Amino acid sequence: QLQLQESGPGLVKPSETLSLTCTVSGGSISSSSYYWGWIRQPPGKGLEWIGLIHYSGRTYYSPSLKSRVTLSVDTSKNQFSLKLSSVTAADTAVYYCARYSGYKTYYFDYWGQGTLVTVSS
């Protein structure tokens, strides 16, 4: 059974960079059929797509966050990561990592449990 687990600091100061890692177990991140994505959810609000990365390094970013987001992948550790720069209180959210079936079909089928990141001084 595929499992994803987010990890990283729960508190980030304004103007700094938020960094999270997603560790994939029970399957290989190097499958050509899938992308790996990040989604966030501010407290009490809806879901927002952040971006996708393929093990080859190909990326897609949300237009609204593109200037601040960087995704990377480490196939040797079966992990992928998110960096969000110049954070403000508006970036406070639960951040989810998920597997994206992006080959001729498009949906997130496996999700991590989510991790709350608070932006505050």
Partner 1 sequence: QSALTQPPSASGSPGQSVTISCTGTSSDVGGYNYVSWYQQHPGKAPKLMIYEVSKRPSGVPDRFSGSKSGNTASLTVSGLQAEDEADYYCSSYAGSDYVFGTGTKVTVL
Residue with tokens 């687990």: 5
Q: Which residues pair with 3 in a beta bridge?
A: 25
With CB under 8 A as the contact rule, the residue among 12, 18, 22, 52 that binds partner 1 is: 52
Count of positions on this chain that bind partner 1 (CB under 8 A): 21
With CB under 8 A as the contact rule, the residue among 21, 31, 42, 48 that binds partner 1 is: 48
With CB under 8 A as the contact rule, the residue among 60, 68, 70, 78 that binds partner 1 is: 60
Contact between 115 and 20 (Cβ < 8 Å): yes
Which residues 84-103 are close enough to bind partner 1 by CB under 8 A?
Answer: 96, 101
Looking at the Cβ atoms of 46 and 76, the one nearer to partner 1 is 46
With CB under 8 A as the contact rule, the residue among 1, 67, 88, 105 that binds partner 1 is: 105
Contact between 119 and 92 (Cβ < 8 Å): yes
Contact between 117 and 16 (Cβ < 8 Å): no
Query: How many residues in total does the chain contain?
Result: 121
CB of 14 to partner 1, least distance (A): 25
Backbone angles phi, psi at 9, to 5 degrees: -60, 140
Which residues 1-20 are close enough to bind partner 1 by CB under 8 A?
Answer: none
